[in-house]
Structure 1
Amino acid sequence: MTTSAVILAAGCGSRLGAGASKAFVPIGTQPMICYCVKAFSRLSEIDDLVVVVRKEDMDRMRQVLQPAADQLRLVEGGKTRRDSALAGVRAAKGDLVLVHDGARPFPSPSLIRRVLAAAQRDGAAIPVLPITDLLHRADGAGHINGEADVSAHALLVRAQTPQGFKRTLLLESLEAAPPGVRDDATAVLQSGGGVATVPGEETNIKITYPSDLSLAEAIAAHL
């Protein structure tokens, strides 16, 4: 079985206040996208690497990723996350595909391999972490009105990427999914498929707000 990695790097980063695509925001001495590309390109299990980019960022992305140009292909993204994922999966050549959020710069080799092994076994798999904070219900007016259902809380998890799938399964699921579907696992579930879980990692953070960059700098310093 061959494996493709699809990195979604078409986000604008409005909440980050970057003023440009999030992929180009520096962490230490490198743009964020470089950490993602290195995470996958260094693994022998990855046969094919696709980076999904906004049309207006194509030229800059080629320059930034020029040292790895022979290891990857750039694909134009769409208006929604689902559209960008679909473009990447359509371009992928592998029997299995790992879809990764370009705003998560630090997936470890062991995490990627866990997801890949589970996807090979079960057809679909995602990394997850438990929710450790106490959850309350909010009334929308600035008040809480009770603790969230404890029984439900025990079953909730935080989803991460990369998310791994048999390519044909994910392709069919994304093609059938509504534009607003929030991740690939949800698309598979909505199409009637099952999704396995593997342990995620606390260092596999998603860069969303400016405060996240300080933590990212600390993680990068120990790589």
Structure 2
Amino acid sequence: MAEFIALIPAAGSGSRMGEDIPKQYRPLVGKPMIYHALRTLCSVTRISTVCVVLAPDDTEWVRHDWDEFTGKIRIFNCGGATRAESVTNGLKELRAANYAQDRDWILVHDAARPGLSTTLVEQLLDQLADDEVGGLLAVPLADTLKHMNDTGRVMRTESRKRLWQAQTPQMFRTKLLLEALEKAPTGITDDASAVEALGFSPKLVVGNAYNFKVTYPQDLKLAELILRERATTQN
């Protein structure tokens, strides 16, 4: 049976947040932001291992207590200059350590998506476990899209029909994902794009708006509201 393995690339600096510490360590409901993604992924029983890829010079990780995840997480200080490079390096480390085989499923998740729920993860596993390619969580676009010209004015309105906003986790077999990333064109922004470049069509699995990516300081308040509401519901 193929294993399900989660991988969180967490080697970025998060410069758009305007903080002195990397974004993944920014406090959120009393914990580092990455904690919330870790907690969700580690609580899914079908996921055997959660791999965190840190920058080689990361000094912040050891400042926090991760004992509750002992036995399920693996830390690799092999992060690269880009997200794709960090995921690639993490995959190679997983294979070298014999944690991941060619047919095992890899769920790549952004550390800056703290609103991920176990329900969404289980839904992803259920819909993709027997899929030939793999896929990703995503949501249909609801907003009107404007194409801007060089002067900052609207050039045209784009149709949003059949357009989806990609989320994570994005889930592919180890061998396919590693090959896709190693051959990926410069500038890809997610794992699905790399797989698409090989000629495959990943499956879209409906996510939800709570699983958004924290990018700017104002996003933190919304993320905190979501996490506090979830904690209240669970208690």
Give the conservation status (yes or no) of the 8 Å contact 1:80–1:180: no
Identity of aligned residues (%): 35
The answer to whether structure 1 residue 18 and structure 2 residue 45 are counterparts is: no
AA paired with 1:7? I
Aligned to 1:90: 92
Aligned to 1:134: 144
AA paired with 1:160? Q
Give the conservation status (yes or no) of the 8 Å contact 1:39–1:106: no
Post-superposition, which runs of at least 4 consecutive aligned residues in structure 1 deviate over 6 A? none
Aligned to 2:49: 48
Aligned to 1:64: 64
- The whole-number CA distance in structure 2 between the counterparts of 1:3 and 1:90 is 16
CA RMSD of aligned residues (A): 1.4
- The whole-number CA distance in structure 2 between the counterparts of 1:194 and 1:136 is 26
CA separation of 1:203 and 1:216: change in aligned 2, threshold 3 A: same
AA paired with 1:37? L
Structure 1 residue runs of 5 or longer lacking an equivalent are none
Structure 2 residue runs of 5 or longer lacking an equivalent are 231-235
Aligned to 1:99: 108
Aligned to 2:221: 214
Tell me the TM-score normalised to structure 1 length. 0.93
The answer to whether structure 1 residue 117 and structure 2 residue 118 are counterparts is: no
TM-aligned CA deviation for residue 40 of structure 1: 0.7
CA separation of 1:118 and 1:171: change in aligned 2, threshold 3 A: farther
AA paired with 1:115? L
- The whole-number CA distance in structure 1 between the counterparts of 2:142 and 2:115 is 21
Aligned to 1:156: 163
TM-aligned CA deviation for residue 36 of structure 1: 1.0
TM-aligned CA deviation for residue 184 of structure 1: 0.3
TM-aligned CA deviation for residue 70 of structure 1: 2.8
The answer to whether structure 1 residue 175 and structure 2 residue 182 are counterparts is: yes
TM-aligned CA deviation for residue 65 of structure 1: 4.6
Give the conservation status (yes or no) of the 8 Å contact 1:82–1:179: no
**Aligned pair count?**
219
Tell me the TM-score normalised to structure 2 length. 0.88
The answer to whether structure 1 residue 190 and structure 2 residue 190 are counterparts is: no
Aligned to 1:79: 81
